[in-house]
Structure 1
């Protein structure tokens, strides 16, 4: 499968980067064709440009400033997002990636008559999230109800790639993590990526 991994963390020595390296290694060992995208290393600017916003409801969305990332998205049969949650949400750079790259005519089409959007990422077969939270499981899942996961799965993917299988793996309580807990999560990530299909 053609899989794009997307890392959203500014520090190459971060745990998110270690998760990303583990995922890439396991995916390649399983025979997948892997394309790595590191949003910070590539200097991705998350804010919509004037041209992008002005053309959002035009017949043609101006994605010229992110054409390379659009091409990678269209190439992908699978996506693996690697990032931490900050304030129970994805990093701003990743939100900006969705805003700018998953635009009209790329990830979805406006349905003027029905007032909804129609999916265009029909070749996307699977999406995985490999993430972490500073907070413990109960606070993230029971109290906050994990808003970022719901938005990605029930909002963005349902609208743009409803056929894609969704996989979610999180290391909770990172603020009190140990070498052993991080190692266990990396082993879990390795196994999950070897089974990804």
Structure 2
């Protein structure tokens, strides 16, 4: 199995980085080949330019970095996104990855009957989103409305047609205490060491 991890957090000491390490260890124990797309270290530009938009409309990516990411996504059996929730949604760099890399003609196509989308990543079996936030779970769920579930799982990947989707949400990260955070990391490593 080949897993592509799309990671977005600029602070190397963040809890997201600790999650990345635990997930990677677990996947390696399960004999997955791990392909890390580290958006911050890669200097990925999330802003779509005029040239990018024309390329998007033409279904022909032109940015070498986007083309590279596309080729790596084509080889993946599983996608894992890891990022913090800031102001109730994903950081701009993750949103830019969705906008600029999930390309028509590469990741999906329009249905020939004109309604809906058709997935094109033939090797892709599942998508997992892993997030951190400081809000309590009930506040994000009831008051904010679980925006990540709506945007990433339903609006993006369900619309494209990928059926196996999962969201692992770590809430109240700063207030739960070190012991709980360590337990989460141990459980994550164990969970992904059993993935197939």
Tell me which residue corresponds to 1:27: 27
Residues 131-154 of structure 1 show CA distances to partners (whole Å, capped at 9, x for unaligned) of 111100110112222111222111
3-state SS, counterpart of residue 55 of structure 1: helix
For residue 2 of structure 1, report the CA deviation from its aligned partner: 0.5
Moved over 3 A (4+): none
TM, length-normalised to structure 2: 0.92
For residue 12 of structure 1, report the CA deviation from its aligned partner: 1.0
Unpaired runs of at least 5, structure 2: none
Tell me which residue corresponds to 1:142: 142
3-state SS, counterpart of residue 56 of structure 1: helix
- Aligned pairs (5 A) from 1:3-14: 3-14=3-14
Residues 141-187 of structure 1 show CA distances to partners (whole Å, capped at 9, x for unaligned) of 12222111222111211132423x22221111123231012112112
Unpaired runs of at least 5, structure 1: none
- Does the 8 A contact of 1:46 with 1:93 survive in 2? yes
For residue 81 of structure 1, report the CA deviation from its aligned partner: 1.1
For 1:87 and 1:188, how far apart are their aligned partners in 2? 27
For 1:147 and 1:160, how far apart are their aligned partners in 2? 18
TM, length-normalised to structure 1: 0.91
- Does the 8 A contact of 1:83 with 1:130 survive in 2? yes
For 2:36 and 2:29, how far apart are their aligned partners in 1? 15
Compare relative contact order (CA 8 Å, sep 6+) and give the higher one, 1 or 2.
2
For 1:180 and 1:9, how far apart are their aligned partners in 2? 22
How many residues matched? Answer: 195
3-state SS, counterpart of residue 48 of structure 1: coil
